[in-house]
Amino acid sequence: MIDLATLTRALGELDEEKVLFMLNEFAAGNPTKAEANKAIEACQKGMAVVGEQFETGAYYVGDLMFAGEVLSEAIKILEPIIGSDSSEKVGKIVLGTVHEDLHDIGKNIFKSMAEASGFEVYDLGIDVPVSSFVEKVLEVKPEIVGLSGVLTLAIDSMKDTIDGLKDAGIRDDVKVTIGGACASYDTMVVTGADAWSNNAAETVNVCLDWVRGA
Ligand code: B12
């Protein structure tokens, strides 16, 4: 198993070479999905360190961008382990990063994991207006809507989006889960969502329970 603390530190220090070397070695050892999930959690912690360094002024926006690129490369290595598409379809999810938020790496991880569990995912991308969510829900009639966001202002955007579903008369036709660094129990209550998540793997199981009627 990969040394998770070292992986977190390497990402926090933006040591691209070390992060990719460690993950390539890890992937070559045929890890399980659960082990790959642990590696993703370690990367997520590394990104939190990057965020803290940005807040203290030690890192700049360029460093955030570089961290995003390194993490995207890292996830590419892990994707075949966490997400080979399942042929049996279990349900539909309309997913997107809410308006004014451009962060998408966590959303993309959730998408891969949900697809691997058999969901058809309609990914609307980033900075998604309320109207696009409403139109897609009316069009594909999913069981679940996933709203991603990491900025504090994304909480308002999530609330707008759920209010938009209410105004269109379709809020009760779907379960809504919010996810990303801004998601918490309180955020779930404020936005009117049904669930919240800082961990994509756990929430895929919640989604499976929803479509199975558990
Ligand atoms: C990389 C990064 C960027 C990259 C994003 C690249 C990309 N393609 O996404 C770039 C450079 C573009 C960027 C820009 C900015 N960023 Co930024 N960024 C980050 C950073 C370092 C990492 C985010 C990340 O990828 N985390 C790793 C992923 C894996 O974690 P995650 O998103 O939480 O996802 C996991 C779960 O939450 C869950 N999940 C995620 N989405 C969903 C959805 C559903 C439905 C479900 C079920 C689950 C789920 O699954 C994932 C795996 O488990 C964070 C720091 C942090 N602590 O997060 C700052 C951070 C989010 N950024 C911040 C800021 C301030 C900015 C900028 C304003 C900077 C600027 N001055 O320009 C801009 C804003 C642009 C915008 N309008 O969105 C702040 C936000 C502060 C706040 N509270 O609002 C943070 C917290 C840094 C900080 N500590 O100051 N950023």
How far, in Å, are 37, 81, 126 from residue 103 at the CA level? 20, 23, 7
Ligand 1 site, CB within 6 A: 40, 44, 47-48, 50-51, 54-55, 61, 64-65, 67-68, 71, 100-107, 109-110, 146-148, 150-152, 177, 179-181, 197-200, 203
Averaged over 178-201, what is the pLDDT? 96
- Model confidence at 200, pLDDT cuts 50, 70, 90, reads very high
Domain range 2-80, its CATH number among 3.40.50.620, 1.20.120.1770, 1.10.1240.10, 3.20.20.70: 1.10.1240.10
Residue ranges covered by each domain of the chain: 2-80, 89-211
Mutate to test the pocket of ligand 1, among 49, 103, 133 (most ligand atoms within 8 A of CB): 103
| pLDDT of amino acid 19 | 97
| Protein residue closest via CA to atom 17 of ligand 1 | 64
State the distance from the centre of ligand 1 to the C-alpha of 148, rounded, in angstroms.
Answer: 10
| pLDDT of amino acid 88 | 78
Q: Tens digit of pLDDT for each residue in 73-115? A: 999 999 889 876 667 789 999 999 999 999 999 999 999 899 9
Q: Which atom of ligand 1 is nearest to the CA of 106?
A: 34
HSE, CB side, 13 Å, CA atoms: give it for residue 129. 3
| pLDDT of amino acid 17 | 97
Average per-residue pLDDT for the chain:
95
What CA–CA distance (Å, rounded) separates 36 from 42?
A: 10
Class of domain 89-211 (CATH, top level) = alpha beta
Q: Interhelix angle for 33-56 vs 61-82, to 10°?
A: 170
Q: Which atom of ligand 1 is nearest to the CA of 52?
A: 89
More confident residue, 83 or 126: 126
- Model confidence at 128, pLDDT cuts 50, 70, 90, reads very high
Averaged over 138-158, what is the pLDDT? 98
| pLDDT of amino acid 83 | 75
State the DSSP string of the chain: ---HHHHHHHHHTT-HHHHHHHHHHHHHT---HHHHHHHHHHHHHHHHHHHHHHHHTSS-HHHHHHHHHHHHHHHHHHHHHH-PPPSS--EEEEEEEBTT----HHHHHHHHHHHHTTEEEEE--SSB-HHHHHHHHHHH--SEEEEE--STTHHHHHHHHHHHHHHTT-GGGSEEEEESTT--HHHHHHHT-SEEES-HHHHHHHHHHHHHT-
